[in-house]
Structure 1
Amino acid sequence: MAHPDDAELLAYGTLRRYRQLGADVTVLMATHGANGVSLTDAARGVRLSEEERVHEVRLAWDDTGVEVVCLGLADGALHPDRRLISAVEDELARRGCTTVITHSPRADNDHQDHLALGAATANAATRVPSCHTVLYGEPHAPRSGFTPTILVDITDFLDDKVKALARHETQGGRWYLGEPYTRQRAAAAGWRLRPADAAAGRSFEAFEAPLLTLLHHVPALECP
């Protein structure tokens, strides 16, 4: 993921399901997120250290068995160049990655770091022999053009997802981290692809699978 909080936004429940199934799970952030200060806070002189937001991610995943790793790059300046692609490739290869979840590199209106990191990760994954599945998480940017093809039922983890997002106290006031939006989005994915389950109160995270191969090897995923 590009920033602290991205993994929790796009795939918290999905990664918890993978852990429940016995998978080794790592959250890899490209940046430390220190530049993630609102214009209002910046005008008041608020500044973040490189450690603050990474610490919030560790709190969000505390006691889940999920490893958190940060490459320590500056947010706002990612490019899908050789440096970034190689750094991601090294991490995927070191872990024998089989499934990687990242940002869509073609989403409309999305953050430039998301687009760059998604492109770099998709590129890197093609050279990691163990990596057979690439999934693009649903952007939180509105009108992104995202078309989900896979839903993962996260009903059992939705309350924990709300709590994990609340750990990002430095980002207070951002609508996409709040409980109302989190619950609405988890329901909306189901209404689009599995309305009967949505009507029954089930909650989901949505993904696109542009390089979907050997899907039957990934039991945490569910095709609508």
Structure 2
Amino acid sequence: MHEGLHFRKVALAFLAHPDDAEFLCAGTLLRLVEHDWEIHIATATPGDCGSTTLSAGQIAEVRRGEAANSARLLGGTYHCLEEHDVNVIFDKTANRKVIDLFRSIAPSMVITHPRLDYMLDHEQVHLLARSAAFAYSIPNASKLPLVPGSKIPWLYYCDPIEGCDPYSGEIVCPTVHVDITRVIDRKSEMLACHASQREWLHEHHGMDEYIESMKRLSAMRGHQVGTEFAEAFVQHRGHPFPQTDILSEICGVI
């Protein structure tokens, strides 16, 4: 699959909600920008349940704006598929939306949620991302034009929340770490764009320290490999996905 440098340098982080990318993989996206990659951040939902005071429509509008502002900080583009919080389902309609999104972007690298995570929106997005990564470059899979160079992308799974398998409670063992120490301040700036969520998490989860909780996970992963901050991923290596580790090649991964 890997033919030297002859591939589209386009990365897509497809996750469930606004701010998921900033928690889980924004440092890696910033590292990719250093290597001249085009970056897209997409969410299945606009985060329409993320408030205890605003209506679904009102908070969705706020969070779309926050996500777009965050993406602009790394020169990226934000997309939303307008599914609804706590109602993301792998079905024909959602599958079609995601395949068409992938078709229009034609990513050569996709970052998404792991198979097991603390909420089902994340797990369903995992299925949607796997489906679209496999299918989008098939000519008859979408009515949208096929972008030259489209092919099955490298596929990476972010950490689950807090790095833990939600069923066993064990820390997930990654296949790759990305050192994000030099971009941690910029990652924090991106996460800070999501001001509405600090209040929401405090009200619903009893959780404060919005940015500090992200840093704790990044510090835990960094400690594993002898650096201050890192992000961790598991690479999908099933047939017929690329077997080389492109993150290690281009980001100086530890």
2:134 is aligned, of 126, 129, 132, to 126
Instruction: Name the structure 2 match of 1:27.
Output: 41
Question: Structure 1 pair 177/80, CA: closer, same or farther in 2 (3 Å)?
Answer: farther
- 1:213 is the counterpart of 2:242: yes
Q: Give the Å deviation of 1:166.
A: 1.6
Instruction: Name the structure 2 match of 1:95.
Output: 105
Question: Structure 1 pair 176/19, CA: closer, same or farther in 2 (3 Å)?
Answer: farther
Instruction: Name the structure 1 match of 2:159.
Output: 138
Q: Give the Å deviation of 1:14.
A: 0.6
Question: Partners in 2 of 1:28 and 1:53 — Cα distance?
Answer: 13
1:178 is aligned, of 210, 219, 222, to 210
Comparing 170-179 with 25-34, which one deviates more in the overlay?
170-179
Q: Give the Å deviation of 1:177.
A: 6.4
Question: Partners in 2 of 1:84 and 1:124 — Cα distance?
Answer: 10
- 1:191 is the counterpart of 2:232: no
Are the equivalent residues in 1 in contact too, given 2:41–2:71 (CA < 8 A)? no
Question: Partners in 2 of 1:71 and 1:148 — Cα distance?
Answer: 29
Instruction: Name the structure 2 match of 1:115.
Output: 123
Are the equivalent residues in 1 in contact too, given 2:98–2:132 (CA < 8 A)? yes
Are the equivalent residues in 1 in contact too, given 2:152–2:242 (CA < 8 A)? no
What letter is aligned with 1:118? H
Question: Structure 1 pair 217/151, CA: closer, same or farther in 2 (3 Å)?
Answer: closer
Comparing 90-99 with 3-12, which one deviates more in the overlay?
90-99
- 1:51 is the counterpart of 2:61: yes
SS of the aligned residue for 2:33 comes to helix
What letter is aligned with 1:179? I
Are the equivalent residues in 2 in contact too, given 1:100–1:131 (CA < 8 A)? no
Are the equivalent residues in 2 in contact too, given 1:79–1:116 (CA < 8 A)? yes
Instruction: Name the structure 1 match of 2:93.
Output: 83
Question: Partners in 2 of 1:141 and 1:36 — Cα distance?
Answer: 19
Query: Which structure 2 segments of 5+ residues have no match?
Result: 1-14, 138-150, 202-206
Question: Structure 1 pair 177/222, CA: closer, same or farther in 2 (3 Å)?
Answer: farther
SS of the aligned residue for 1:61 comes to helix
Are the equivalent residues in 2 in contact too, given 1:151–1:221 (CA < 8 A)? no
Question: Partners in 1 of 2:189 and 2:209 — Cα distance?
Answer: 10
Question: Partners in 2 of 1:32 and 1:102 — Cα distance?
Answer: 16
Question: Partners in 1 of 2:211 and 2:116 — Cα distance?
Answer: 27
TM-score by length of 1: 0.85
TM-score by length of 2: 0.75
Q: How many residues align?
A: 210
Instruction: Name the structure 2 match of 1:167.
Output: 193
Query: Which structure 1 segments of 5+ residues have no match?
Result: none
Question: Structure 1 pair 164/101, CA: closer, same or farther in 2 (3 Å)?
Answer: same
